[in-house]
Amino acid sequence: MYNDANLIERYNATVFDPETGTTHFGSSYQKIGSRVILNLSIKNLGNGANAIFTLPIGFRPIQTLSFIVSDGTPIGTASVLVEKSGRVTGYTSSSGYILGYIEFFAMEE
């Protein structure tokens, strides 16, 4: 199933605008089976914690998860917290970017 060339046609991604900052190249989420794929590309974020959005029921992790992602610089990092409640928060450095591809398993509905 995961080698199927038509995954994008079969599992449409939902594009969203972040609550804080602006879209850089587009952010989206999608679900394939119980696997959730979260693609973040956001700019113009403040230093520190930034509210991104809330995942809908059915896309939320079984426990709060933390991920390290790129801040758009050659050596910098940013982090993303995905809470059990579905709340997604990004923590940035002075670059103001969060760029990341995140995968996790959703809790059963």
Query: What per-residue confidence (pLDDT) applies to 3?
Result: 45
Residue 1 pLDDT grade (very low, low, confident, very high; cuts 50, 70, 90):
very low
The DSSP line for 64-108 is -EEEEEE-SSSS-EEEEEE-TTSEEEEEE-TT--EEEEEEEEBPP
- pLDDT at 44 exceeding the cut of 90: yes
Instruction: State mean pLDDT over 31-52.
Output: 93
pTM of the model: 0.84
Domain map (residue ranges) of the chain: 7-105
The fold of the 7-105 domain, in CATH, is Immunoglobulin-like (2.60.40)
Question: In this predicted model, what pLDDT tens digit does every residue of 55-78 receive, in sequence order?
Answer: 999 999 999 999 999 998 888 899
